[in-house]
Amino acid sequence: MRLVTATALVKSYGSGRAARRVLDGADIHIDAGELVALVGPSGSGKSTLLHLLGGLDRPDEGSIELAGRRLERESERGLTELRRSQIGFVFQFFHLIPELTGEENVLLPARLRTNGGRAPERARRLIADLGLGDAAPRRPAQLSGGEQQRLSIARALVNDPRLLLADEPTGNLDQDSGHHVLELLRFVASDERGVLLVTHDAEAAQIADRVLRLEQGRLVE
Amino acid sequence: MRLPGGPLASLRRLRARPGRSLVAALGVAAAAAMLGTAVTVGYGLHTGFDRAADRADLPDVIARFDDQPVAHVDARLRALPNLRARAYRREFTGVVLQSGPDVTGDGIVQAVGPGRRGYAIARGTDVRGGDEVVVERGLAREWGVRVGQRLDVGQGSLRVVGVAVSPDNVAFPLAKGPRVYVAWGALGQRFASRPDTNLALIWLNDPSQLDATLTQARAASFGLGGLRFLTRSGVRTTIDQAAGIVVALLVAFSVIALASAGVMLAASAAADVQRRLQGIGVARALGFTPRSVAAQYALDSAVIALPAGAVGLAIGALVSYGPSARLLESLNELSPGAVLLGPLALALLGVVALVAAAAAWPAWRAARRPVVSVLRGGDVPVARGTPRLPSGFVGLGMRLAATRRRRMLATVAVLGVSGGVVLTMLGMARLLDRLQHDPGLVGKRYQLTVDAPASRAREIARLPGVAAAAPRYVVFAADSFELGESLKVVAYPGDHTPFESPPLAAGRRVRSAGEAEVGTGIADALGVRPGAELALELPTGREVRFRVVGLVRAFDNDGRVVYTRPRRLLAADPGLSGPIAIKLANGASRDDVVRRLGRLGLEPQPVTAATTRNAGFLGVLAALLRAVALVNGIVCLYILVQALALTARERRSTIAVLRAAGAGQREVRRVLFGAALVVVLGAAPLAVALELLVLAPAVSNLAASYVSLPLAVGIGQIAIVIAGLVVLAAAASALAARQLGRERVVTGLRSD
């Protein structure tokens, strides 16, 4: 089942002579249960594409369809609602909130849902499934990078999104921790979710169902 | 290595970050507006009397006496060695004045003789002929009298040629009777058969020799009946009695507002440096010296502070100038006008210097730290030992604010001081209200007075609803040794405490006719203590002596009051009389008692506490307080917005993550509200404690050291201020959330 389809995406930064077209007609689709790896040199536009698919930014041209809705036509409120219900994000630097415990960080997005009554139970299950029982009551500063990233994956999954977007999730981890995180993402995708993985990691490319390379603003398989 | 210097380079730097510069400018403008208000109110009130007295050429002494031929009085005055100049007037009281529908039977007409005037012409010209009249400014304003129109004075109609200001009394309608001036030549035609005088204006060569001159004047006054002297300082005291405590309160408030604005300016500038800490680290890493970094920050801040401070001071001055001018008009004093520009310019210099110093000091301190530490310590939040706070978005906001403890404490301190000042203003407003309505506040326990002979006191005391009634003798006397010190002597035939019971500060109550309780106001001025002898010179010229047995904290007459028994006074002045003070029985209806007194042919007057009884005047004061409170409210809002802007900027990645997870404007607002709330929750008790323990006693002491003013606020007012702070927190979080909503989520995510 197709989760997201993006067609002829164009995105430029700067203006005049300094203008740079980062995406120049990029096409991409992700199916349920699929893990897609996106690779390319630094500055090639990988994160930009991820942000467009996640409704964090808008394309200059082209269309993105997610859960039957056209993202470029949605209002800010509509994009917010889509992110809340359909999309989960995992960041390279984890972006856990240092004042909250691991469990509170995981639970935070659930507070955004109007029907978040089952969220605590779901969060606890995720924490247990991801082996984060010891990390849950502790603050991020007391946790290893691998634990923090697994908590951020749990946080991304707490609202049960269809699409998970991971931006360099292993970029700030040692080899072992990175391996665990990739296994986890693979497991996430097997649960009928789509996962887009922006990475420089060769191992990440190996576990992906498809590997897309961003070159000259376009995607090649 | 030095940073590129000069104001132009600073301007370029500021233009490179317009949003932040605008926020800093708004902060300086808000604090400067508060300062502008304080300067306008404080300077205007503090200098109003002297300005008006100088402009009006107010004499050093005003002597009143029974009607005498001018030549007779002039012969005695000419003999005074310290005399510089003199002028004579003839005063008529109870004259009917009418202009259209406005009419009063309490008009005061003064026929002015040749020589110096003692009043200033504010509009039009002075009187020259018998058909002309100059009216006091209060009358012109209250009745809408204009130069050129006619005014009915007594039996005739005179042409108004000018409007005068004379600070020897408060203005109509604060004063009961409006004053008008006619030419001496009009005397014979309209008011009197013989051109006598009953009022002399005396200017001295050496005002410091006033006491000696008054002694000489009294010695030479044989044959002048009803002689009373009013000195320039006495005039000031008289006028101060009218606005009295409230004017002193406003001046005291201005001093506190000034200090508060200073704290805010310093905190605002320090916060800006904190926000730019990483920039300091980078500059140091590039090799710039701490001195050049501090100089750059000082210059950048000064470039912002100069225009923003000027705008803020102008706003503060404009907002408060109108109410302040109306208050001064009520007191027959003059607004500073363009002279105010001087203090405002000084205030601007102060603002710029304070902001520059406040920016340079933390920048210099930061620049002296190891570069790596500055770079690391820039905006990296540390979440060590965050206190346990509620969960949820509001709780998250509280935690975010609590992480930066020093900043939070500084914000709490500034907001607490501002809240304390607002509470103090409410306390002042409450005091004004009580002064107007509650005679018990000033120790008066009687509710009514009637003008009736002392012999009717027993008859009145027997009326149902009346607990006690006694004649209240009042006479204004001078201290025999310091004649410039006038004081009010109040005497009751028996114990005065059932009628007036100001708190006893030292000694005991009066028990016999030769004893006196003395107000701390006069006790301080004369150095009188229990056990001392007090010698008073009555208007009749006779002297009476009392043994001081107690000191009382009396409001009346600025504490320049003496309580005693009337026997010695009546012996010295058998014509002394006074109204009968009536104390109502507990639960008695005032209206019923008034009706019963009416049946006896008496016209009772209600007793008020305030030295001023004019509702319009109190309205002016309230407007002034509101203007200052408004500025203070805006300042509080700015403090919160700035604190939130700092938190939001520092935690933009946290906010961005929330937004990426689907948080909308509402959730972001709740987070920011939590950050503001934690500050408000800290500031509110601080504000209350500050008001109760520091500001109220300080203002009370500054305003009237001779009594304890009940300036403490009530529960209701505290609730209003706390609710106001919470509303401001909501408004500030809405503003900051709106600002954040305009930023792209991606920008926030990249900020780490």
- Is the domain of B361 the same as that of B407? no
- Is the domain of B259 the same as that of B405? no
Query: Is A160 in CB contact (< 8 Å) with chain B?
Result: no
CA distance B440 to B442: 5
Choice between A26 and B176, residue whose per-residue pLDDT is larger: A26
pLDDT in tens, B141-168: 888 899 999 999 887 889 999 999 888 8
Name the most confidently modeled range: B123-127, B217-221, B735-739: B123-127
Query: Is A74 in CB contact (< 8 Å) with chain B?
Result: no
Please indicate, yes or no, if residue B6 is contained in any of the structural domains: yes
Best A99, A113, A142, A158 member to test B by mutation, with max B CBs in 10 Å, is A99
pLDDT in tens, B47-62: 888 888 888 888 988 8
The two tokens of residue A153 are 């994956």
| Domain tally, chain B | 4
pLDDT in tens, A101-127: 899 899 888 888 665 567 778 888 888
pLDDT in tens, B88-122: 998 888 888 888 888 888 889 998 888 888 899 98
- Per-residue b/e over B537-553, b at no fewer than 16 CB within 10 Å? bbbbeeebebebbbbbb
CA distance A205 to A186: 11
pLDDT surpasses 80 at B346: yes
CB within 8 Å: A99 and B396: yes
CB atoms within 10 A of CB B592: 13
Cβ within 8 Å of B, A 180-219: none
- Is the domain of B620 the same as that of B679? yes
What is the phi/psi pair of residue A200, to 5°? -105, -5
Q: Are B699 and B711 in contact (CB under 8 A)?
A: yes
- Residue linked to tokens 């939001």: B648
Position B373 confidence tier, pLDDT thresholds 50, 70, 90: low
DSSP states of B272-327: HHHHTHHHHHHHHHTT--HHHHHHHHHHHHHHHHHHHHHHHHHHHHHHHHHHHHHH
- Is the domain of B635 the same as that of B681? yes
Asked whether the CA dihedral B190, B195, B199, B204 is positive or negative, the reply is positive
- Residues from chain A that touch B392, judged by Cβ atoms under 8 A, are 111
Please indicate, yes or no, if residue B134 is contained in any of the structural domains: yes
- Is the domain of B140 the same as that of B44? no
Mean pLDDT of B29-52: 82
- The shortest CB-CB distance from B400 to any of A85, A99, A140 is to A99
Query: Is A137 in CB contact (< 8 Å) with chain B?
Result: no
- Residues from chain A that touch B667, judged by Cβ atoms under 8 A, are 111-112
pLDDT in tens, B402-456: 887 877 887 888 788 878 877 887 777 777 766 666 666 667 788 888 988 888 9
**End position of a domain, from candidates B333, B359, B380:** B380
Residue of chain B whose alpha carbon sits nearest to that of A159: B661
CA distance A87 to chain B (A): 8
User: Which residues, including other chains, have CB under 8 Å from residue B385's CB and lie 6 or more apart?
Assistant: none
Q: How far is CA B600 from the centre of its chain?
A: 43
- Is the domain of B107 the same as that of B197? yes
The whole-number pLDDT of residue B566 equals 92
- Is the domain of B353 the same as that of B464? no
What separation, in Å, do the N-terminal and C-terminal C-alpha atoms of chain B show?
30
- Is the domain of B629 the same as that of B747? yes
CB within 8 Å: B661 and A98: no
Q: Are B449 and B582 in contact (CB under 8 A)?
A: yes
CB within 8 Å: A80 and B662: yes
Mean pLDDT of B285-299: 84
- The shortest CB-CB distance from A112 to any of B403, B654, B663 is to B663
pLDDT surpasses 80 at B77: yes
CA distance A81 to chain B (A): 6
Cβ burial, residue B608 (10 Å; 0-12/13-18/19+): middle
The whole-number pLDDT of residue A88 equals 92
**End position of a domain, from candidates B554, B584, B606:** B606
Cβ burial, residue B168 (10 Å; 0-12/13-18/19+): buried
The whole-number pLDDT of residue A11 equals 92
CA distance A45 to chain B (A): 13
- Is the domain of B470 the same as that of B564? yes
What is the phi/psi pair of residue A132, to 5°? -110, 20
What is the phi/psi pair of residue B142, to 5°? -70, -40
Q: Are B684 and B722 in contact (CB under 8 A)?
A: yes
Position B382 confidence tier, pLDDT thresholds 50, 70, 90: very low
- Residues from chain A that touch B381, judged by Cβ atoms under 8 A, are 98-99
Please indicate, yes or no, if residue B205 is contained in any of the structural domains: yes
The whole-number pLDDT of residue B272 equals 66
pLDDT surpasses 60 at B245: no
DSSP states of B200-258: EEEEES-GGGHHHHHHHHHHT-TT-TT-EEEEHHHHHHHHHHHHHHHHHHHHHHHHHHH
Q: What is the mean pLDDT of each run of 10 residues along chain A (221 residues)?
A: 91 83 92 92 88 91 92 90 90 86 88 70 85 88 88 89 90 83 86 89 84 88 78
DSSP type of residue B146: -
pTM for this entry: 0.64
Q: Which of B57, B149, B151 is closest to B112 using CA atoms?
A: B57
At B705, the amino acid letter reads S
Q: Which of B493, B474, B609 is closest to B554 using CA atoms?
A: B609
Residue of chain A whose alpha carbon sits nearest to that of B654: A97
Asked whether the CA dihedral B21, B25, B27, B28 is positive or negative, the reply is positive
Domains, chain A: 2-97+149-220 (3.40.50.300)
What separation, in Å, do the N-terminal and C-terminal C-alpha atoms of chain A show?
20
pLDDT surpasses 60 at B478: yes
Q: Which helix (H) or strand (E) holds B153?
A: strand B150-153
Position B691 confidence tier, pLDDT thresholds 50, 70, 90: confident
Please indicate, yes or no, if residue B385 is contained in any of the structural domains: no
pLDDT surpasses 60 at B570: yes
- In sequence order, which ranges of B496-651 are alpha helices (DSSP H)? 520-526, 567-572, 590-599, 615-650
At A6, the amino acid letter reads A
Position B381 confidence tier, pLDDT thresholds 50, 70, 90: very low
As a whole number, the mean pLDDT across chain B is 80
Helix B7-16 with B290-330: angle, nearest 10 deg: 90
CB within 8 Å: B657 and A91: yes
CB within 8 Å: B384 and A141: yes
DSSP type of residue B692: I
Q: Are B70 and B88 in contact (CB under 8 A)?
A: yes
DSSP states of A140-162: GGGS-HHHHHHHHHHHHHTT--S
Residue B271 is part of which domain span? 1-63+246-380
- Is the domain of B13 the same as that of B131? no
- Is the domain of B21 the same as that of B158? no
Tell me the Ramachandran region of residue B649: left when phi exceeds 0, alpha when psi lies from -120 to 50, beta otherwise.
alpha
- Is the domain of B719 the same as that of B623? yes
pLDDT in tens, B124-135: 999 987 789 999
Percent of chain B with pLDDT over 70: 81
Residue of chain B whose alpha carbon sits nearest to that of A157: B661
CB within 8 Å: A56 and B653: no
Cβ within 8 Å of B, A 88-117: 88-89, 91, 93, 95, 97-100, 104, 108-109, 111-112
What is the phi/psi pair of residue B391, to 5°? -85, -175
Choice between B343 and B505, residue whose per-residue pLDDT is larger: B343
- Residue linked to tokens 């500034």: B414
The whole-number pLDDT of residue B516 equals 94
Position B379 confidence tier, pLDDT thresholds 50, 70, 90: very low
**End position of a domain, from candidates B218, B239, B260:** B239
pLDDT surpasses 60 at B581: yes
pLDDT in tens, B486-519: 688 999 998 988 888 888 888 999 999 899 999 8
Task: Find the range with the poorest average confidence among B225-229, B244-248, B435-439.
Answer: B244-248
Cβ burial, residue A1 (10 Å; 0-12/13-18/19+): exposed
- Residue linked to tokens 């009298």: B145
pLDDT in tens, B630-676: 667 777 777 787 778 778 877 888 888 899 988 888 899 999 999 99
